[in-house]
Amino acid sequence: MILRRLTNAIRRRDWFTVVIETLIVVLGVFLGLQVNNWNVVRGNRVAEADFMERLHPDIVRVEQSSERVRARRVSVVDDLRSATEVIFDVVERDRLTQAECMAIATSHYYNINVLSLPSVTELTNAGRLSIIRDPALRAALVDYEQRVEALLAYIEKDHALANNLLMLRPELVKVQPVFDAELGEMQTRPDCDLEAMREDRAFLNAVAENLDANDAYLRDGLLPWDAQLAEIHRLIDTALEITHEAAQ
């Protein structure tokens, strides 16, 4: 109808009507585009809110699934450092603590449960990460995926190259199985022959290699991943106005 009136006006050279009809067409197109844009923005806000609500339990699940092992891995590396100082006579002591001996016995372990964030994977695969308005959260999520890849690479590489000291020199580190009632799981109780360790050059070399690998794994793999996980949790808590009770 408008196009017919516009055509007739042009034929009659009724320029005033041409201008008015043209403005009506342009305004109609503009308003149509604006309504469409508003609908897209509103849809993105709904999708963003839904994503935020699903991301928080994903974060909590990943943290809880690996919490105990994360703390144990950090503790083991600290104990391995102090054990190495004793074995290499940097610290004068005639025996290793039980924790230090355990760190030597388990220095070839890199196991940790690295779970994915399903909500992030879904959003990334759909190419819709841009619906997140907070640039800090968007960057944190991208960085998290990179941290996961780096951690998994360290676990695979270091596990393949680690020296299993229990098998390398079984006479120096002896273990027996025990049940830990507090943890509700089987554990090994190691017994270390410190004097013999100090006399075994191959064992000393293997311990030094394991310490170096564990230190790199902790510094460049586990701790950056752990810190990034905590940062995402902080950002999502801020966005959702969630306050967690402090641990007792």
Residue 3: predicted pLDDT? 53
Query: What residue spans of 88-180 are helical by DSSP H?
Result: 98-105, 118-125, 135-161, 165-168
DSSP 246: P
Residue 196: CA count within 13 A, CB half-sphere? 9
Distance CA 247, CA 221 (A): 26
Distance CA 237, CA 147 (A): 21
Could you read off the pLDDT tens digit of each residue along the chain, which spans 248 residues? Answer: 555 655 655 555 555 555 565 666 666 666 666 666 665 557 667 888 888 888 899 999 988 888 888 888 889 999 999 999 999 999 999 999 999 999 999 999 888 888 888 888 888 888 888 888 889 998 999 899 889 988 988 888 877 889 999 999 999 999 998 887 877 778 888 999 999 999 999 999 999 999 999 998 999 999 999 999 999 999 999 888 888 765 44
Residue 132: predicted pLDDT? 86
Q: At what angle do helices 201-217 and 15-87 cross, to 10 degrees?
A: 160
CA-CA-CA-CA torsion sign (15, 21, 27, 32): negative
DSSP 163-186: --HHHHSTTTEEEEEEEETTTTEE
Residue 156 neighbours by CB under 8 Å, 6+ apart = none
Residue 65: predicted pLDDT? 85
Residue 248: predicted pLDDT? 44
The residue with tokens 């503009």 is 30
Can you give the three-state secondary structure of 204-217, one letter per residue?
A: HHHHHHHHHHHHHH
The structural domains of the chain, with segments of one domain joined by +, span 60-240
The CA distances from residue 106 to 59, 76, 79, 146, 214, in Å, are: 28, 8, 11, 27, 11
Question: pTM for this structure?
Answer: 0.74
